[in-house]
Chain A
Amino acid sequence: KAGVTQTPRYLIKTRGQQVTLSCSPISGHRSVSWYQQTPGQGLQFLFEYFSETQRNKGNFPGRFSGRQFSNSRSEMNVSTLELGDSALYLCASSPDEGSTQYFGPGTRLTVL
């Protein structure tokens, strides 16, 4: 089975812009979670989607949003980018809510 794929792998944006990241889960997995990873804060949970519905949300501002499509693919969007949004954004999929997650390679976002 192919693993979790994320596109793009690398992205450079400037402050104030918006960005959309994409995640394709492992085939048959219905739950997708997003995490932000930075050297200072480690891995922080953004949100989890299951059956096109957001099931859990972390403590991030409303500039961070996401959605899941009927084929379980997911996108996350960050609007009005700030320098502090520079991070590795990781997507993880699991067969169901609450089951073990498998991570993609991440999208490295740099905000200038």
Chain B
Amino acid sequence: GQQLNQSPQSMFIQEGEDVSMNCTSSSIFNTWLWYKQDPGEGPVLLIALYKAGELTSNGRLTAQFGITRKDSFLNISASIPRDVCIYFCAGQGRDDKIIFGKGTRLHILP
């Protein structure tokens, strides 16, 4: 079945640094989604991408839908302590089923 590989699994960065994470798939997706999740809460949608090559920003976050439709990346610029959480990518294929990556846990070093 379809699988998503999300990397890295975790990141340790200094406050103010830029962050980059990505997801790759063996299958083509029609939609890529990026979520964040705080402890004890449900995922919150950050960015939705619907077209290959699409580049979308939401504040300091930027995500792109890869032109092969098999990958997507999320960048966070000038990270702040509030960015600490787990980030998930999700892909939706032609059958409308949504597959989630295993998440990237972001840590910010003091």
Contacts and interface: CB of A to CB of B under 8 A. Distances in A.
A108 B40 contact: yes
Interface string A1-35: 00010100000000000000000000000000101
B42 A56 contact: no
B76 interface: no
A56 B96 CA distance: 9
B11 interface: no
Contacts of A6: 42
Which of A44, A56, A97, A101 is packed against the most chain B CB atoms within 10 Å?
A101
A104 B42 contact: yes
Contacts, number: 47
A102 B100 contact: no
A45 interface: yes
A104 B103 CA distance: 18
B96 A102 contact: no
Contacts of B98: 33, 45, 101
A98 B92 CA distance: 8
B57 to A, nearest CB: 17
A4 B41 CA distance: 12
Interface of A: 4, 6, 33, 35, 42-45, 56, 90, 92, 97-98, 100-106, 108
Interface of B: 31, 33, 35, 40-45, 48, 88, 90, 92, 95-103
